[in-house]
Amino acid sequence: MFSKTIAQLSQGLKTGEFSSSEITRSYLDQIAAQDSKYNSFITVTPELAMAQAKAADETIGAGNAHAMTGIPIAHKDIFCTKGVRTSAGSKMLDNFIAPYNATIIEKFNAVQSVSLGKTNMDEFAMGSSNENSYYGAVTNPWGDNRVPGGSSGGSAAAVAAQLAPGSTGTDTGGSIRQPAALTNLTGIKPTYGRVSRFGMIAFASSLDQAGPITKTAEDAAMMLNVMAGFDAKDSTSAQTAVDDYTATLNQPLKGLKIGLPKEFFSADLNPQIAERVQSALKEYQALGAELKEISLPNTALSIPAYYIIAPAEASSNLSRFDGVKFGYRCENPVDLEDMYKRTRGEGFGTEVKRRILVGTYALSEGFYDAYYKKAQQIRRLIQQDFVNALKEVDVIMGPTTPQPAFKIGEKTADPIDMYMEDIYTLSLNLAGLPGMSVPCGQVDDLPVGLQIIGNYFAEQRLLNVAHMFQQATDWHTQTAPGL
């Protein structure tokens, strides 16, 4: 049961091989028995899940089911869920019960998917290792005391540990793709604006984008079919028509032009990961694709630009957490200023405070032009690099991460070293492009991810390219030791 993909579960529900109630109860029991090893969930919702599963079974029995009806999934604890604690991994929101649903939650409810609960994450989505959560670090099922990546580490660990067949995540600088790579999963970050951000607790509003984390590209296509689409409640939501992402999964790749940025294969890349990526590229050649070296000359500037823009937006977004209307409030404040200071000092974690301070400084009088404005200018250069490159090729490929999953605690003392883990993913968020990670091998028995980048709103093509690779290889079928 737990090894089945979403597509296989959907087919089994359709044929009556099992019911949604049976699947859901099995996953809830698995979470209860196994998640103490991984800490992938913050909140589990068994009563809600079983009620949803029962309703889904009635719909399936009536012959009116969607492909995702009755499928249990986990949601990153950054999406507001009515009546359920929504914490964003922070002490600041530990007592917050959302009074409404995020659009993504509403969309899955509309097709009667089943919500197993809310997954652990780096606090306010700030991190690359899921060690910044108020609820403790998440452990990667693939390695002893290894990180699962962040900030969607709980979502990735839950799927990799077979506690859920699929999950939602968010990606501000790589937080879907990087965890997917480190846990041998498939994750896609759609084009900015493709998926509604309404009800998703904001970190950096011009960068955040939601997407699925699954076992296969086919499963990701099925989930994205639910998630994607215009939302009038989100002013940044795109009105571009939504494709059926499952319709062209099996389209042949003959003549596909793949761009290989020379900047992605630098000395910073683990040589064994480079070998696995090169092997994957040979598979694509066997499928009829053509390789071409390209250049994205401003790639090296993506980290400094991102770590000005994202903290600046975070300092603005997180100013709402002051102890006045909702969330954590310090005890016995002497006055309003004391309440603000102690509420934020006690409610925010170290990494969140660091980014708020950096962002506030960059936006302050006398430094705005030197830092924030300059970073936005660099952002435009990075975007133009991709625009130019995608005139010559259909997709761009390279590694998702510079190395496999590292040990918990290995990089916490050096924030800059931690930030370098996002070197290959940040630029896509700055440009607003879609990208995904798929398994392409292992190094020292730890998963390696291949990153695939496409043009704006080309998610259908990306999923096709990923799916055909998975039809020719079996890396995505590998499970963590002991599972």
Domain with CATH 3.90.1300.10 in the chain: 6-255
Which tens digits make up the pLDDT trace of 39-62? 999 999 999 999 999 999 999 999
Which residues neighbour 183 within 8 Å (Cβ) at sequence distance 6 or greater?
A: 140, 141, 142, 148, 149, 156, 157, 159, 160, 405, 447, 480
Q: How confident is the model at residue 84 (pLDDT cuts 50, 70, 90)?
A: very high
Proportion of the chain above pLDDT 90, given as a percent: 96
| 477, pLDDT greater than 90 | yes
Structure tokens that stand for 143 in this block: 């390695």
pLDDT at position 482 is 87
Mean pLDDT of the chain: 97
Choosing from 20, 40, 76, 87, the catalytic residue is: 76
Whether 76 is catalytic is yes
Q: Is the backbone peptide bond immediately before 128 cis, with ω within 30 degrees of 0? A: no
* Overall pTM surpassing 0.75 (yes/no): yes
pLDDT at position 144 over 90: no
175 is catalytic: yes
pLDDT tens digits, one per residue of 336-391: 999 999 999 999 999 999 999 999 999 998 899 999 999 999 999 999 999 999 99
Given 19, 90, 133, 151, the catalytic residue: 151
Tokens linked to 471:
């039809």
Residue 267 is predicted with a pLDDT of 80
Active site residue 353: no
User: Among 201-205, 310-314, 415-419, 430-434, whose mean pLDDT is lowest?
Assistant: 415-419
Does position 8 have pLDDT exceeding 90, yes or no?
A: yes
| pLDDT for 268 | 84
pLDDT confidence bin for 1, thresholds 50/70/90: confident
pLDDT tens sequence across 254-289: 999 999 999 999 888 999 999 999 999 999 999 999
Choose the catalytic residue: 10, 20, 90, 175: 175
Strand order through the sheet with 210-214: 41-44, 114-119, 72-76, 166-170, 210-214, 186-189, 435-443, 446-453, 395-399, 257-261, 290-294
Rounded CA separation 49/116 (Å): 6
Which contacts (CB < 8 Å, 24+ apart) does range 95-98 have? 95/327, 95/328, 96/326, 96/327, 98/199
| pLDDT cut 70: percent of the chain above it | 100
**In the predicted model, what is the mean pLDDT of residues 202-207?**
96
The mean pLDDT of 193-206, rounded to a whole number, is 97
Question: Which residue type occupies 472?
Answer: A
Q: How many whole angstroms separate alpha carbon 384 and alpha carbon 397?
A: 17
6-255, CATH topology level: Amidase signature (AS) enzymes (3.90.1300)
Q: How far is residue 50 from each of residues 66, 106, 117, 408, measured CA to CA in Å? A: 18, 18, 12, 35
